Structure 1
Amino acid sequence: MDRPLPLKRADFPHVLAITTRWMDNDVYGHVNNVVYYSFFDTVVNRYLIEHGALDFANGPTIGLVVETKCNYFQPIAFPDTVHAGLRVVHQGTSSVRYEVGLFRNDDKTASAQGHFVHVYVDRTTNRPVPLPEPLKKALAGLHR
């Protein structure tokens, strides 16, 4: 399996600053690996909410994570600020593959990066549905 090279901050059209918390550190003195996935979730869902593409409480369509991966290059630790870069690398009929780069403080090279795939489904039936127009519009600014 080939290990990817860390991406650059400039590779991402959207970046969100996320403050680390004391409790994010593990016994080894750096942010625990499970927290990285929380950063992924935060940058994607906040972007979608702010761009009118996600109503997580009442919307008829929801995104289910069906695949995720993270590669770690260097540690992040409290009190670092994480800058989560976001881009879309594939948009299908009912799915989107997001890539996320996590940058420590002012670093220009990713400390970690990965992806997750959302399949958009009807909230009631859990069956895949075509991407709603507001979502397509929001995603347009994330393509690379």
Structure 2
Amino acid sequence: MSDRPTRLHRSAFRLFRPVATRWMDNDAYGHVNNVHYYSYFDSAVNGWLVEKGQLAIAESPVIGLVVESGCTYFESVAFPEALEAGIAVAHLGRSSVRYQIGIFRSGAEQAAAQGHFVHVYVDRATQRPVEIPPETRGLLSEWL
């Protein structure tokens, strides 16, 4: 597979958030099932946005909707391991942002899995794309 992404190192990310694995994350093969990585991605990014005051889940008039995601797996992880999500902003457009996310065993130098997702910012009521709010854009720009 010549187009397989290169495994990223911790140095590719400036922001890290803890990820708690749960018993239910493990599958019949004894490792975290692939679908849970997308939850880890979403929780890491949105948790950070909430903490920074850029997302009020039930009230923000402008919200980011995930329109694309992907993940590449390099090694298995399993409950009860402590993980970390590394976050980077890979691209910042007018109404969208592409996040690069790495899932690391606590303290590991290389990602066990890595992927991306794209938020398109929309008006909550109309669901139509809008410009990323200036304060949010400023915060995201720090992580380019």
CA distance in 2 between partners of 1:81 and 1:132 (Å): 34
Q: How far does the alpha carbon of each residue in 1:30-82 deviate from its partner, in whole angstroms, 9 at most, with x for none?
A: 00100000000011101111111111111110111110000000001011111
Structure 2 unaligned regions, length at least 5: none
> Which residue in 2 is equivalent to 1:89?
90
Q: Structure 1: where are the runs of 5+ without partners? A: none
Q: Distance in 2 between matches of 1:127 and 1:38?
A: 24
TM-score normalised to structure 1 length: 0.96
Q: Which residue of 2 aligns with 1:119?
A: 120
Check if 1:6 corresponds to 2:14. no
RMSD across aligned positions (CA): 0.9
Partner in structure 2 of residue 18 of structure 1:
19
Hey, what's the Cα distance between the residues in 2 that align with 1:78 and 1:31? Answer: 7
Spell out structure 1 runs of 4+ moving beyond 4 A.
none
TM-score normalised to structure 2 length: 0.96
Identity %: 54
Contact 1:95–1:120, Cα closer than 8 Å, also in 2: yes
| 3-state SS, counterpart of residue 34 of structure 1 | helix
